[in-house]
Amino acid sequence: MSWGNVRQLEAAGRELPAELARLAPLLPGADVLAFADIDPMQRRVYGHQKQGAASGHTKIHGKTVLVRGLNAMAATVCTPLAAPVVAGTRLRGGSASTARGAASFAAGAIGAAQAGCTGTIMARADPGFDTAAFTAACRRAGAYFSVTARMDPAVTAAIAAIPGDARTAICYPRAIWDDQLRCRISGAGIAGVP
């Protein structure tokens, strides 16, 4: 299969959920808020004949190891009221870096989300997508974005430097039970740093 055929297949995969969303109520609440979650994944494969497999780093039980596998990106769209719907997938070489192709993939995923969602779209991604190209693609597509920061010494120091009274409380409608505190935790804090 040529790369042109692969891209055509990806386009059809993006258009199918968008057309379904127009015809069926897949995403209730999409007129207010939708989340486009973009995630990388690497799956181990066995055997030497597996097409597209290569060696790459992945985390297994919290440890980074080198494995032979298939590397892919997947995007889902959900709302606070609806379960996730697959908005796109892309298979990449097993040794591809997380950020490779992420900007164009994000643009396609956000475009698929916009076909069925008329409200605000928030693209969410892992630290591997923390690149200028990814955030620029989200901005060009008209979506907000939230990218998890890597926990390196500089980020840890910046978080520790935020005074406790500088945080703004966020209360979540669905509280989570904490066994240690024996109460529901429904709040978090957000603060800005330069």
Q: Worst-scoring range by mean pLDDT, 34-48, 104-118, 145-159, 170-184? A: 170-184
DSSP, collapsed to helix, strand or coil, labels residue 67 as strand
pLDDT at 2 over 60: no
Q: Go through the domains of the chain in sequence order and give each one's CATH number.
A: 3-151 (3.90.350.10), 162-194 (no CATH)
pLDDT at 193: 67
User: HSE of 176 in the Cβ direction (CA atoms, 13 Å)?
Assistant: 6
- Sequence length of the chain is 194
Cα separation of 166 and 172, whole Å?
19
pLDDT at 190: 78
Chain mean pLDDT for the chain = 79
Asked if 191 contacts 168 with a C-beta cutoff of 8 angstroms, the reply is: yes
What are the pLDDT digits (tens) for 92-124? Answer: 766 677 788 888 889 988 988 887 788 899 999
Phi, psi of 40 (to 5 degrees): -90, 155
pLDDT at 3 over 60: no
Q: Which residues contact 92 (CB under 8 A, 6 or more apart)?
A: 71, 72, 73, 100, 101
The mean pLDDT of 77-87, rounded to a whole number, is 84
pLDDT at 16: 67
Phi, psi of 46 (to 5 degrees): -125, 150
pLDDT at 24 over 70: no
